[in-house]
A and B are shown apart, each in its own frame.
Chain A
Amino acid sequence: MRFVDEFRDPVLGRTLAGQILATVEPGRHYKIMEVCGGHTHSIYKYGIDDLLPENVELVHGPGCPVCVIPMGRVDDAIAMAHEPGVIFTCFGDMMRVPGSDGTLQDAKARGADIRMVYSPLDALRIARSEPDREVVFFAIGFETTAPSTALTLKRARTEGVENFSCFCNHVTIVPPLRALLESPDLRLDGFVGPGHVSTVVGARPLEFIPADYGKPVVVSGFEPVDILQSVLMILRQLAEGRCEVENQYKRVVPYEGNLAALAVLSEVFTLRPHFEWRGLGFISHSGLRLHDDYAAFDAELRFSVPGVRVADPKACQCGEVLKGVIRPFECKVFGTACTPERPIGTCMVSSEGACAAYYNYGRFARDKVMV
């Protein structure tokens, strides 16, 4: 397949691994954070960390939207789903995220009409076909999925679909990165930047990382060769004393982003003063809500929700995993009480969560396998 096969070329991968080895400074330990859950998934799917020298550590960032959703928002979703006449729609992964009293899947088993959809357009289609029911869409994701929600809301307004509303949990990527960089317990040397978020917002919003914090950023694709090349580009910046935003994923990411997507985002959404992130706490201007012009489609205004903040389970160390302070297998419940089948924490729910990526690809070993 075009744009896939050439980026999975094992010869090219080994060549890049050799160049990485030749670039690192012996005795120095490098910590590089991959921001996206998609990168985390690829790293363990393809064993990319096994191709890196021992002194290059990949740290998994907060870029999986399922993993950062706080329990209180899941409780709010379940409350809406139990409202009479409501059809509650959400992406598949959200069905298994635990709230304080079970998951959406549990609520469905108890009789709530909860349906899995693949896009907000699917939810809108249900609303059209069931005009006597209230259809709520659980909107979640970074700037990659927010345009999809925004376009669907515009479509709903144009078509006058009044029984459709949106429970908005969209978040933005820059504020949590700034919060991480301000965190005293996390020392990073550079970032593998978010690939598809940058398709929408461009690479320019990441310029604050080198400018304000002196860390290199390379926006990266998701294939193994993409990630290896991005790690090499970061290491070369460090070796040459450079510090800038580079775009390894030029075949998809324009430096200025997708201007049409940015326009629709600013039309439909506005920033919340603050939003809670699992493990990271409240972060200013990090969440989106519907713009006042779209208030009629805001499920939080249409339905009464508990809106209660719920503390994470004590055994769960998702917060430390999301900040890259510990690795998934260092969590005390990893692979025992917490598994993809019976997750305690969100990082074990989504396939892009760091814990699930470790678990699904058999990464239980503490020691690297030398190649």
Chain B
Amino acid sequence: MSDVERHHCITCSDEGCEMTVLAVDTERVLALCEEADGSHSTVETALVGEVQPGDVLLVHAGTALARTGTPA
């Protein structure tokens, strides 16, 4: 994590954290996602419909609120 990224507030995360979907667990409505710095985390995807690897999601506190990109 860079110095600049470390200054982001993790509470309300209003500087959107965009993550790319790596793998999807459809049954549990979860996705393994990657941040720009290469770190991975599990994300709730119930609020953005069906996702697929390569989708870019706007994530707040572990939950995707919007899809900002799809695989080319």
**What is A's interface to B at a CB cutoff of 8 Å?**
1-4, 36-39, 41-42, 45, 63-66, 91-94, 118-122, 140-142, 144-145, 147-149, 151-152, 194-197, 199-200, 222, 251-253, 258, 260-261, 264, 350-352, 360
Are A121 and B9 in contact, CB atoms less than 8 angstroms apart?
Answer: no
CA distance A351 to B15 in the complex (A): 11
Least Cβ–Cβ distance between A271 and chain B, in angstroms: 19
Tell which of A118, A148, A151, A252 touches B16, judged by Cβ atoms closer than 8 Å.
Answer: A252
Chain A residue contacts of B36, Cβ below 8 A: 1
Are A264 and B16 in contact, CB atoms less than 8 angstroms apart?
Answer: no
CA distance A196 to B47 in the complex (A): 14
CA distance A45 to B2 in the complex (A): 14
Q: Which residue of B lies closest to A94 (CB)?
A: B11
Tell which of A38, A149, A252, A258 touches B68, judged by Cβ atoms closer than 8 Å.
Answer: A252
Q: Is B23 an interface residue, CB under 8 A from the partner?
A: no
Are B11 and A65 in contact, CB atoms less than 8 angstroms apart?
Answer: yes
Question: Can you list 12 contacts pairing A with B, beta carbon distance less than 8 Å?
Answer: A3-B68, A36-B14, A37-B14, A119-B41, A121-B42, A141-B11, A144-B61, A151-B47, A151-B63, A253-B66, A258-B66, A261-B47
Chain B residue contacts of A37, Cβ below 8 A: 9, 12, 14
Are A145 and B13 in contact, CB atoms less than 8 angstroms apart?
Answer: yes
Most buried by A among B13, B36, B63: B63
Encoded as 1 (CB less than 8 Å from any A CB) or 0, chain B from 36 to 72 comes to 1000011010111100000010101111011011000
Tell which of B42, B58, B61 touches A148, judged by Cβ atoms closer than 8 Å.
Answer: B61
Chain B residue contacts of A1, Cβ below 8 A: 18, 36
Task: State whether A151 and B9 are in contact (beta carbons under 8 Å apart), knowing that A251-B68, A252-B66 are contacts in the complex.
Answer: no
Task: State whether A119 and B62 are in contact (beta carbons under 8 Å apart), knowing that A196-B16, A264-B47 are contacts in the complex.
Answer: yes
Are A199 and B66 in contact, CB atoms less than 8 angstroms apart?
Answer: yes
Are A144 and B46 in contact, CB atoms less than 8 angstroms apart?
Answer: no
Q: Which residue of B lies closest to A352 (CB)?
A: B9
Closest 5 CB pairs of A and B: A119-B62, A38-B14, A148-B63, A352-B9, A148-B61
Chain B residue contacts of A92, Cβ below 8 A: 10-11
Q: How many B residues touch A, CB cutoff 8 Å?
A: 30
Least Cβ–Cβ distance between B35 and chain A, in angstroms: 11
Chain A residue contacts of B12, Cβ below 8 A: 37-38, 63-66, 141-142, 144-145, 196, 352
Are B7 and A351 in contact, CB atoms less than 8 angstroms apart?
Answer: yes
Chain B residue contacts of A38, Cβ below 8 A: 9, 12, 14-15
Q: Which residue of A lies closest to B46 (CB)?
A: A151
Are B69 and A2 in contact, CB atoms less than 8 angstroms apart?
Answer: yes
Least Cβ–Cβ distance between B10 and chain A, in angstroms: 5
Chain A residue contacts of B69, Cβ below 8 A: 2-3
Are A147 and B14 in contact, CB atoms less than 8 angstroms apart?
Answer: no
Are A120 and B61 in contact, CB atoms less than 8 angstroms apart?
Answer: yes
CA distance A194 to B68 in the complex (A): 18
Chain B residue contacts of A120, Cβ below 8 A: 61-62
Most buried by A among B16, B41, B42, B66: B16
CA distance A140 to B65 in the complex (A): 17
Are B11 and A196 in contact, CB atoms less than 8 angstroms apart?
Answer: no
Are B65 and A261 in contact, CB atoms less than 8 angstroms apart?
Answer: yes
Most buried by B among A66, A147, A148: A148
CA distance A347 to B69 in the complex (A): 34
Are B8 and A351 in contact, CB atoms less than 8 angstroms apart?
Answer: yes
Are A360 and B7 in contact, CB atoms less than 8 angstroms apart?
Answer: yes
CA distance A118 to B63 in the complex (A): 11
Are B44 and A121 in contact, CB atoms less than 8 angstroms apart?
Answer: yes
Task: State whether A42 and B15 are in contact (beta carbons under 8 Å apart), knowing that A148-B61, A151-B44, A196-B60 are contacts in the complex.
Answer: yes
Are B11 and A145 in contact, CB atoms less than 8 angstroms apart?
Answer: yes
Chain A residue contacts of B7, Cβ below 8 A: 41, 45, 351, 360
Are A91 and B42 in contact, CB atoms less than 8 angstroms apart?
Answer: no
Beyond the given A118-B61, A145-B11, A148-B60, please list 15 additional residue pairs across the A-B interface where CB-CB is below 8 A: A37-B14, A41-B14, A41-B15, A42-B15, A91-B11, A121-B42, A144-B61, A151-B44, A196-B12, A196-B58, A252-B66, A260-B46, A264-B47, A351-B8, A351-B9
